[in-house]
């Protein structure tokens, strides 16, 4: 498997498909690079080099005890970019991966990056606070931690329903998609998965977003039950100097079917613009 050895000695897995200008994909929690496969094939076939990686603690990357926080995730991404010498890249982050992209740009700058995409992304801050009343209460994240710690197998399977909007009236439920989500979740290390809940929910990306000096496509479904749009995309686009908001009516957090096809089309247009 293609891996790099990070500066702390741990192994990071990545996929490297196609040729052309690089498009780097950062996945959501508790998934891995396989979550991008359909989109990755479409983008590579359109003439781009697609690099999709597993975050530390997830998938085929090393299940590290330490470093499961957003600064280290961003530094790991920077090491991957440098090791593969990726330049003029477009960074695409879904959910937690969107936080990783924002923190990378806030922490490492845009010298290697041309554009970015935040899809169903957690910035600027998921947690409800006095200054962020639209956020999600801490009790919800405590519940996630308890579910993962107690019976992560059942928790991941149950979570897949809301993740893909399969709990909505008239939704066409894909049992295979739910099992795929479960499988990727079970490939994440327990310590890394638990730590990542704090990373995606309590990290404030406000200052990172303000620093970003490149065009950013902010894409979000308005029926996202995991990362509600009012506390995320609608706020992020106001903090970005070159942000554009694309809302998908009725779309859930994890895009499937026609929603996935619509985003793929919009992404290819954004890449070529």
**pLDDT computed for residue 12 by the predictor:** 98
Per-residue pLDDT reduced to its tens digit, 158-212: 999 999 999 999 999 999 999 999 999 999 999 999 999 999 999 999 999 999 9
> What CATH number corresponds to the domain at position 256?
3.40.50.1820
Paired residues of 15 in beta bridges = 52
Catalytic residue among 53, 94, 220, 253: 253
Residue among 178, 152, 153 at smallest CA distance from 164: 178
Cβ neighbors of 110 (< 8 A, separation 6 or more) are 212, 213, 214
Average pLDDT of the segment spanning 206-229 = 98
For residue 48, the tally of other CB atoms under 10 A from its CB is 22
Q: Token match 């609608």: residue?
A: 234
Catalytic residue among 53, 76, 224, 232: 224
Distance CA(219)–CA(266), nearest Å, equals: 9
Exposed / middle / buried, residue 130 (Cβ in 10 Å: 0-12, 13-18, 19+): exposed
- The pTM score is 0.97
Instruction: Quote the number of domains for the chain.
Output: 1
**pLDDT computed for residue 130 by the predictor:** 95
Paired residues of 4 in beta bridges = 12
Catalytic residue among 95, 160, 201, 232: 95
Per-residue pLDDT reduced to its tens digit, 232-267: 999 999 999 999 999 999 999 999 999 999 999 999
Q: Token match 């962020």: residue?
A: 132
Active site residue 224: yes
Per-residue pLDDT reduced to its tens digit, 24-79: 999 999 999 999 999 999 999 999 999 999 999 999 999 999 999 999 999 999 99
**pLDDT computed for residue 23 by the predictor:** 98
pLDDT reading at 97 higher than 90 = yes
Which structural domain, as residue segments, surrounds residue 184?
3-272
Residues 151 and 182: beta-carbon distance below 8 Å: no
């Amino acid at each position: 498997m293609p891996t790099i050895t990070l500066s702390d000695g741990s192994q990071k897995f990545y996929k490297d498909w196609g040729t052309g200008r690089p498009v780097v994909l950062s996945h959501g929690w508790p998934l891995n690079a396989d979550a991008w496969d359909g989109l990755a094939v479409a983008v590579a076939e359109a003439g781009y080099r697609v690099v999709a990686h597993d975050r530390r603690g997830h998938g085929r990357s090393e299940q590290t005890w330490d470093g499961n926080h957003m600064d280290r995730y961003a530094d790991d991404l920077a090491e991957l970019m440098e090791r593969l010498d990726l330049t003029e890249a477009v960074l695409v982050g879904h959910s937690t991966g969107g936080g990783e992209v924002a923190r990378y740009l806030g922490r490492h700058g845009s010298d290697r990056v041309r554009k970015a995409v935040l899809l169903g992304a957690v910035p600027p801050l998921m947690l409800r606070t006095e200054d962020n009343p639209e956020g999600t209460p801490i009790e919800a994240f405590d519940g996630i931690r308890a579910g993962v710690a107690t019976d992560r197998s059942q928790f991941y399977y149950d979570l897949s329903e809301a993740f893909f909007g399969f709990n909505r009236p008239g939704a066409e439920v894909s049992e295979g998609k739910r099992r795929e989500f479960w499988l990727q979740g079970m490939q994440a290390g327990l310590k890394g998965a638990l730590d990542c809940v704090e990373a995606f929910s309590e990290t404030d990306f406000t200052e990172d977003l303000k620093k970003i000096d490149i065009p950013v496509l902010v894409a979000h479904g308005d029926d996202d039950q995991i990362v509600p749009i009012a506390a995320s995309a609608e706020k992020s686009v106001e903090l970005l100097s070159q942000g554009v908001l694309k809302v998908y009516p009725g779309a859930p957090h994890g895009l499937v079917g026609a929603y996935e096809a619509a985003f793929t089309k919009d992404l290819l247009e954004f890449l070529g613009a």
